[in-house]
Amino acid sequence: MRRFALLFVVAIVVWIAGCSSSSTPNTVTGVTLSCLPSPIQSSQQNQCIATVTGTGSFSTTVTWTASGGSIASNGVYTAPVVLSPTTFTITGTSTQNTHDSAMTTVTVNPVNATPITVDAGPQPQTFTAVNEAFTSVTVCVPNTSTCQTIDHILVDTGTSGLRLLSSVLTVPLPQQNDSSGNPLDECMVFLDGYAWGPVALADISIAGEKASSAPVQVMIPDSGSPPVPSDCSSRSMGFNEGNSVSALGANGILGVGLFQQDCGTKCTSANGTIPPVYYECPSSGCNPTYVTLAQQVPNPVILFSFDNNGVVISLPVVPEGGVPTENGSLIFGIGTQTNNAVPTSATVYTVPNSGTNAGELTTTFNGVSYPSTIESGATGIFFLDSATTGITTCTVKGSTWYCPTTSPDNLSAINQGANGNKGIVNFSIEDANKLLSSSHTAFSTLGAPAPMPGTFDWGLSFFFGRTVFTAIDGKSAPGGPPPYIAY
Amino acid sequence: MPTWMKRLCLCWKRSALLLFGVLAFVPLPARAVLGDTAASVLTDQARMKGSLRSVDAKAYVMHEITVDSGTVVREYVSPAGVVFAVAWEGQFPPDFEQLLGPYYQQAKQATSQQERHGRGPIFVDTPGLVVQQSGHPRSFHGQAYVPQLIPEGVKASDIR
């Protein structure tokens, strides 16, 4: 009896369904798609939604396909890894009527951001780093999978080029030769030391960006071969930073500064005296030589397929007294993706690309103007002297720092670019003796004198609480032309 | 010394400089400059293959050597004929071993005693030597002087 009742209900349902189909056919009439957000970055996901229209009773489901990457049945699209912006086609086909389909596109950009950390430095801890922004870099023997990821590479917008300590390098990067077939070595002089060693070639990967077969410098110790030429070491009053991890304060330096190469045209043209920067080193010994721009150690950013016009460093506010560690981000490209647009609140300060003030702004303090730099690779704020600033100094472990008796000492200066743009910088200096005896490693208030002839060097202390754009000479970037610094 | 004698003395020194100027075309041995005699300026010029410009600021004479790589070295000579200060700027720093002479080791010694906390400009402030270098590796700015050799009436801030 029950069975008959069920059959009756089913029959009624079928009859009703049949009735409606006779008046409106069950047909799919169209499919539209949208995938949001777009663009996305390598390996990121977005959601694709299909809107199926039709008449009568029809299926709203679609079958998804993608020309690159993968898409799940629920419409979640996963982007593939790309090195430059690539557009992929997403197709949604009605499952009910495979003749009805629609296409849309998703643009995939390379991953252009990587974390930076301010901490006590590389392990084993033989020294304590202060105000050093570190990141990780992967280097590979070109066109192979023989790779090494090296942590605690100092991010420096004051220099250009990747330099790695030979003592931490475990992959055999091939030596670059000069035009005569002799090994090419380099003497890179910093403010407070120098780096000597071979120019090698590496595929450099940082974030989702890649610089293929890029010249890099391998920093070797005094005991290394070839020995440091005397006209290299005598250009510095500091020491060989390639001697050890503690001598460098890092495992390497990632120079992502204002210029495309570390030397530029001064090292390429036969203008009389060969600068003691690049050396050809046959077995008989090393002598300075000219090199082409392509042979020089470049800012690796210029070799990226995309996001290659500069970098952005973003670090949070650090309160007075400093913090134990801090985290921020290093973003490649300026105005190339949504995360590196120059905001309207930022000011662009252009700098000269040559001459004795190359790469420098002007900073006015108490009505007097001084040349200045903004670089993430310098520790604190190095400026003027006690007589000019009225701040007392003290000696902490052999170095002179500002140690105001009323701490913090609140100061103000005006930065100006070559384009005439100006901006006030309010900054505070705290007693360095107190700061450096704490266990903290990130300080926004660390300062030291730089008295002769009077300069401002806005180091990492300046970067806390700011997003600082460093745009590379010879590239184009919004608000430019580069070279410029914007914040 | 009466003023006229000082003038005569300076005048003689200028003649001597001119003479050395002629001699500068003859290769001279490289020698130190800071703390050395005025003649070492010309040695330096010859060694750097640079052009020389001299400015008499009364209390001292400033000799500016511009090297073809663009680096500018300024050497400050006291009325006593001693180089009491040097300054430099440009893409490439000068050869400090030659420019600072015996003071080079002193500067290196001082920087090696500074415990490394990070990176930045060099500043050595000792009773016998003051050295500073700032800027970045496209544009170095630096100075060195011997406080005891600075002539009367000259301030450290005059060195530029």
Nearest CB to B107 within list A237, A272, A276:
A237
Q: Which amino acid is at B133?
A: Q
Please choose, from the candidates A345, A262, A338, the residue with its C-alpha nearest in 3D space to the C-alpha of residue A297.
A262
How much is the pLDDT for A126? 75
How much is the pLDDT for B116? 65
How much is the pLDDT for B18? 41
Using CA atoms, how far apart are residues A70 and A79, in angstroms rounded to an integer?
7
Using CA atoms, how far apart are residues A419 and A323, in angstroms rounded to an integer?
36
Lowest mean pLDDT segment, chosen from A281-295, A465-479, B111-125, B142-156: B111-125
- Assigned token pair, A285: 């010994």
- Assigned token pair, A120: 């006590």
Provide mean pLDDT across the span A463-487: 97
ipTM of the complex: 0.84
How much is the pLDDT for A105? 97
How much is the pLDDT for B11? 45
Q: For A77-112, what is each residue's pLDDT tens digit?
A: 999 999 999 999 999 999 999 999 999 999 999 999
- Do residues A149 and A170 lie in contact, with contact meaning Cβ atoms separated by under 8 Å? no
- Assigned token pair, A73: 């049945």
Task: Judge: B119–A378 Cβ closer than 8 Å, yes or no.
Answer: yes
> Mutate which of A118, A154, A159, A237 to test chain B, going by most B C-beta atoms within 10 A?
A237
Burial (CB count <10 Å: 0-12, 13-18, 19+), residue A112: buried
Residue A144, C-beta contacts closer than 8 angstroms, at least 6 positions apart: none
Instruction: Specify the pTM.
Output: 0.89
What percent of chain B clears pLDDT 70, i.e. is strictly above it?
78
- When pLDDT is cut at 50, 70 and 90, the band that residue A4 belongs to is low
Please choose, from the candidates A118, A131, A155, the residue with its C-alpha nearest in 3D space to the C-alpha of residue A430.
A131
Residues B128/B132/B137/B138 CA torsion (nearest 10 deg): -120
Lowest mean pLDDT segment, chosen from A244-248, A373-377, B46-50: B46-50
> Mutate which of A191, A256, A437, A460 to test chain B, going by most B C-beta atoms within 10 A?
A191
Chain B residue with Cα closest to A120: B117
Task: Judge: A459–B108 Cβ closer than 8 Å, yes or no.
Answer: no
Query: Which residues in chain B are contacts of A258 at CB distance < 8 A?
Result: 138
Task: Judge: B143–A239 Cβ closer than 8 Å, yes or no.
Answer: no
- Residue A159: DSSP 8-state: S
Please choose, from the candidates A296, A212, A204, the residue with its C-alpha nearest in 3D space to the C-alpha of residue A252.
A204
Would the pLDDT of A62 be above 70? yes
Query: Which residues in chain B are contacts of A230 at CB distance < 8 A?
Result: 97
> Mutate which of A452, A461, A473 to test chain B, going by most B C-beta atoms within 10 A?
A452
Burial (CB count <10 Å: 0-12, 13-18, 19+), residue A208: buried
Which contiguous run of DSSP H or E holds residue A310?
Answer: strand A310-315
- List phi, psi (to 5°) of A261: -125, 170
- Do residues A458 and A448 lie in contact, with contact meaning Cβ atoms separated by under 8 Å? no
User: Could you tell me which residue, A185 or B49, shows the higher pLDDT?
Assistant: A185
Please choose, from the candidates B107, B108, B94, B83, the residue with its C-alpha nearest in 3D space to the C-alpha of residue B159.
B83
Query: Which residues in chain B are contacts of A272 at CB distance < 8 A?
Result: 49, 68
Domains and CATH numbers, chain A: 23-109 (2.60.40), 113-303 (2.40.70), 340-486 (2.40.70)
How much is the pLDDT for A271? 63
- Assigned token pair, B2: 């009466």
Task: Judge: A271–B69 Cβ closer than 8 Å, yes or no.
Answer: yes
Only one residue has tokens 């040349």, namely A371
Q: How far apart are the first and last CA of chain B?
A: 29
CB-based contact, A447 to chain B, within 8 Å: no
Runs of H (alpha helix) within A40-140 = none
What percent of chain A clears pLDDT 90, i.e. is strictly above it?
86
How much is the pLDDT for A440? 96
Using CA atoms, how far apart are residues B110 and B91, in angstroms rounded to an integer?
24
CA dist list (Å): A417 to A359, A366, A369, A422: 10, 18, 12, 7
Only one residue has tokens 């400089």, namely B17
Query: Which residues in chain B are contacts of A231 at CB distance < 8 A?
Result: 95
- Assigned token pair, A413: 């200066």
Chain A residue with Cα closest to B134: A191
Upper half-sphere CA count for residue A294 (Cβ side, 13 Å): 5
Average of per-residue pLDDT values in chain A: 93
Q: For B55-113, what is each residue's pLDDT tens digit?
A: 888 889 999 998 877 889 999 999 999 999 999 999 999 999 989 998 999 999 988 88
Runs of H (alpha helix) within A239-295 = 245-248
Q: Hey, which residues 355-384 in chain A have their CB within 8 Å of chain B?
A: 355-360, 371, 373, 375, 377-380, 382
How much is the pLDDT for B14? 47
CB-based contact, A267 to chain B, within 8 Å: no
What percent of chain A clears pLDDT 70, i.e. is strictly above it?
95
Task: Judge: A360–B69 Cβ closer than 8 Å, yes or no.
Answer: no
Kindly report the number of other CB atoms within 10 A of residue A355's CB atom. 14
Q: How many beta-carbon pairs below 8 A join chains A and B? A: 187
Q: Kindly report the CA angle at B25 between B24 and B27, in degrees rounded to 5?
A: 85
- Do residues A483 and A472 lie in contact, with contact meaning Cβ atoms separated by under 8 Å? yes
Residues pairing with A425 in the sheet: A413
Only one residue has tokens 């460098």, namely A248
Nearest CB to B116 within list A127, A273, A400:
A127
- Do residues A72 and A47 lie in contact, with contact meaning Cβ atoms separated by under 8 Å? no
Using CA atoms, how far apart are residues A350 and A364, in angstroms rounded to an integer?
16
- Do residues B92 and B71 lie in contact, with contact meaning Cβ atoms separated by under 8 Å? yes
Would the pLDDT of A270 be above 50? yes
CB-based contact, A270 to chain B, within 8 Å: no
- Do residues A286 and A185 lie in contact, with contact meaning Cβ atoms separated by under 8 Å? yes
Only one residue has tokens 């647009």, namely A341
Query: Which residues in chain B are contacts of A158 at CB distance < 8 A?
Result: 136-137
Burial (CB count <10 Å: 0-12, 13-18, 19+), residue A292: exposed
- Assigned token pair, B65: 């050597």
Would the pLDDT of A323 be above 90? yes
Q: For B21-42, what is each residue's pLDDT tens digit?
A: 433 333 333 344 898 888 887 7
Task: Judge: B118–A129 Cβ closer than 8 Å, yes or no.
Answer: yes
Alpha-carbon torsion (A469, A471, A476, A480), positive or negative: positive
Runs of H (alpha helix) within A148-271 = 230-233, 245-248
Q: What's the maximum distance between 2 C-alpha atoms anywhere in chain A?
A: 112
For chain A, how many residues are written?
Answer: 487
Sheet architecture: strand order including B83-90: B51-56, B61-66, B72-77, B83-90, B139-145, B129-136, B122-126
CA dist list (Å): A358 to A469, B64, B68: 17, 20, 17
- Residue B148: DSSP 8-state: G
- Do residues A108 and A99 lie in contact, with contact meaning Cβ atoms separated by under 8 Å? no
Task: Judge: B68–A457 Cβ closer than 8 Å, yes or no.
Answer: no
Alpha-carbon torsion (B43, B44, B45, B46), positive or negative: positive
Using CA atoms, how far apart are residues B95 and B77, in angstroms rounded to an integer?
19
